A and B are shown apart, each in its own frame.
Chain A
Amino acid sequence: MARAVSTQRKAFNTVVAWGVALLIAFPIIWTVLTSFKPEPQAVATPPIWLGFDWTTKNYHDVVQQRGYFSFFLNSVIIALGSTALGLLIAIPAAWSMAFVPGRRTRDLLMWMLSTKMMPAVAVLTPLYLIFRTLGLLDSRLGLVVVLMLINLPIIVWMLYTYFKEIPGEILEAARMDGASLWNEILYVLTPMAIPGIASTLILNIILAWNEAFWTIILTVTDAAPLTKFISGFSSPQGLFYAKLSAASTMAIAPILIMGWFSQKQLVRGLTFGAVK
């Protein structure tokens, strides 16, 4: 009897979990479906779920109109570049905050986080002028630096949390065995924190990939990533939803695939130290 109740509860939980998952995934599913509809059917009321005239014309039109590869390449370079640079700075910073904390470490962490509370538009004009003066407008290097700075507080915070879970005694033991600071971070700390570092890396790539405000405003053509590619398919007049959906699907597909393959690492990292 008890077993039957347990099965019922399991079934209920499964249905609820699937329901929530579908609800969360619905916008993406609907975008993908819309991308295969002819324009008039994309805006039909009542909406057509599956019984529409399937077509790949939108994808063809989107690629023919604006190309795709250069936008994709810029997204990859900007997302990977800003993440790598961010980790390079954040790992030593998080190490010192976690293992050699000072009196003001927590204040420093809060101050770093507080920079995320400021609306981006507040620093738009000063940053634009700095970029203009330094010749960084429409450059990949400029975007790598900006996105690294934007996401650095989150990277430092995440790594700090993971590093705090690692017993300091292990690092002390390494030091007693004669390990230098560099060897301690590289060969002792990093391997132990790999799940945390991996999830930080993946999350940061996703954040950088999807960042739209700065990537649209600071680029023109040479460094324009996929966010700019999508933005061009919205129209003030006329039907555009199917093409916009095709452009969006092409923009999110790479990051979706990356997330799919790295989901184990991502979950492991996000739950790292959750149960002590």
Chain B
Amino acid sequence: MISTTRALLGATALCAFGTLAAAQDTVTLTIATVNNGDMVRMQGLTDDFTSQHPDIQLEWVTLEENVLRQNVTQDIATNGGQYDVVTIGTYEVPIWGKQGWLAPLDDLPADYDVDDLLPSIRAGLSVDGTLYAAPFYGESSFVMYRKDLAEAAGVTIPDQPTWDDIRKAAEAMNDPDNGVYGICLRGKAGWGENMAFLTTMANSYGARWFDENWKPQFDSPEWKAAITDYLDLMNNYGPPGASSNGFNENLTLFQQGKCGMWIDATVAGSFVTDPNNSTVADKVGFALAPDAGHGRRANWLWAWSLAIPASSDAIPQAKEFIAWATGKGYTELVANSEGWANVPPGTRTSLYENQDYLSAAPFAQMTIDSINAADPNSPTEQPVPYTGVQFVAIPEFQGLGTSVGQEFSAALAGEKSVDEALAAAQDVATQTMTEAGYITQ
């Protein structure tokens, strides 16, 4: 009896030890991400990863974009170590990489084929040539327009339009009596809202945020021309209350057939052509973002990317996850389970050489052309001391961009003139840059 009890106790102890050892071998990665279609889809496909890596478990934290930015910044800056993989954009990567807050991704496996990443996206996610984040999906901006309305109004929108072409088309398609407005553009204040669009528009007019000595340039004729034309377009051919419209509001307007044109993120291409949600799905044409003869088009560059905080205690496992989520195999996994039209766009050259993808996504060629046309190191024709196309990659930009955005949003709402808004923008930018030590005199 005693020996049986001992044997049972021994077996139990062995089992417990075995379970403990197995638990100790398993690593749990905490992944912070935003709530968009591609990220949600990835969460649904992670069985593929965990079956290949039974020693790694995944925990997801999905947050609203600004909340995510605040949480992750707080955690990384204080070395909290709560996250192993974070979803961040092309704005954060150069700043955080330079601060030493991110683990470099310079030893990804050979079959990851890092040279396949689109050059402009890779440049936006690197500091001094070292990659600090892997792109999950990339985007630029382009013109989406109603082919039927353009045809009925007798206008043609070329594949590479100028701002003059856009103005003429907006005027021709504008029919407010029937609830159709010539053009919908962002007006809601915010560094990632109206200022993303207005910075690219200003770039195409030859304007820049700062000169080589970090002196703000809102008092330049280029900024005045850009903002004047923007207000002219919106006041004459835009929807009412446009100063409250951001991406989602304009998406809704366009999908409901209330916009002749909309210039915004290339990722919207799949939304406006989705017959389940868009009433104009089969009537949408695409064109490159407009230019004004200054060598740059008004298109931005953004990539939601996966990075590893330097404070993570599971960096090797996090790298394995990132290699899976942003690798070629994941693209094929999505294509097999959800169709080629649903694969994350804008990260790899090979995707745009794939005929299956090109025939499934009518906006694919325009997307790759837009992304290739954006250069984060030279966003406008004049020299600049910063990187970033629709933003300036310095920590002060979130606050500054939003303050300046509020001035232009007020001008759109009719509360300020162009000159008043530009003068206020110049003042706030000068004060911010002086206080931050960029301007020394």
Contact = CB atoms under 8 A, between A and B. Distances in A.
Interface in B54-77: 59-65, 67, 70-71, 74
Contacts of A65: 40, 43
Contacts of A44: 256
Interface stretch (B263-271, B320-328, B360-368): B263-271
Interface stretch (A13-21, A170-178, A213-221, A248-256): A213-221
B59 A221 contact: yes
B74 A238 contact: no
Most buried by A among B32, B79, B248, B251: B248
A231 B37 contact: no
Contact of A132 (B80, B252, B268): B80
B78 A235 contact: no
Contacts of A220: 30, 32, 59, 61, 82-83
Given A66-B62, A217-B70, A232-B64, A237 B80 contact: no
A51 interface: no
A138 B247 CA distance: 33
Contacts of A216: 63, 67, 71
A234 B69 CA distance: 14
B36 interface: yes
Interface string A122-134: 0011001100100
B272 to A, nearest CB: 11
Interface residues of A, number: 30
A137 interface: yes
Contacts of B74: 124-125, 128, 217
A198 interface: no
B285 to A, nearest CB: 21
B35 A232 contact: yes
A132 B267 contact: no
A239 B248 CA distance: 7
Nearest to A230: B64
Contacts of A27: none
Nearest to A43: B252
Q: Which secondary structure dominates chain B's binding surface?
A: mixed
Contacts of B32: 220
B331 interface: no
Contacts of A239: 248, 251-252, 271, 277
Interface string A45-68: 100000000000000000001100
Given A65-B43, A231-B64, A236 B34 contact: yes
A231 B256 contact: no
A213 to B, nearest CB: 10
A236 B91 CA distance: 15
B247 A236 contact: yes
B78 A125 contact: yes
Interface in A195-224: 216-217, 220-221, 224
Contacts of A237: 36, 247-248, 251, 265, 267-268, 271
B90 interface: no
A146 to B, nearest CB: 15
Nearest to A217: B71
A40 interface: yes
Contacts of B80: 128, 132, 137
Given A128-B80, A228-B61, A239-B251, 18 more contacts: A40-B255, A65-B40, A128-B74, A128-B78, A129-B78, A132-B78, A132-B81, A217-B74, A220-B32, A231-B67, A232-B63, A232-B64, A233-B35, A235-B248, A237-B271, A238-B36, A238-B37, A239-B271
The 6 lowest CB-CB distance pairs between A and B, nearest first, are A232-B62, A234-B64, A236-B65, A43-B252, A235-B35, A221-B59
30 contacts: A39-B277, A40-B276, A45-B252, A45-B256, A65-B40, A65-B43, A66-B60, A124-B74, A128-B78, A128-B80, A129-B78, A132-B78, A132-B79, A137-B80, A220-B59, A220-B83, A224-B61, A231-B63, A231-B67, A232-B64, A235-B35, A235-B36, A235-B248, A236-B192, A237-B248, A237-B267, A238-B248, A238-B251, A238-B271, A239-B248
Interface of B: 30, 32, 34-37, 40, 43, 59-65, 67, 70-71, 74, 78-83, 192, 247-248, 251-252, 255-256, 265, 267-268, 271, 276-277
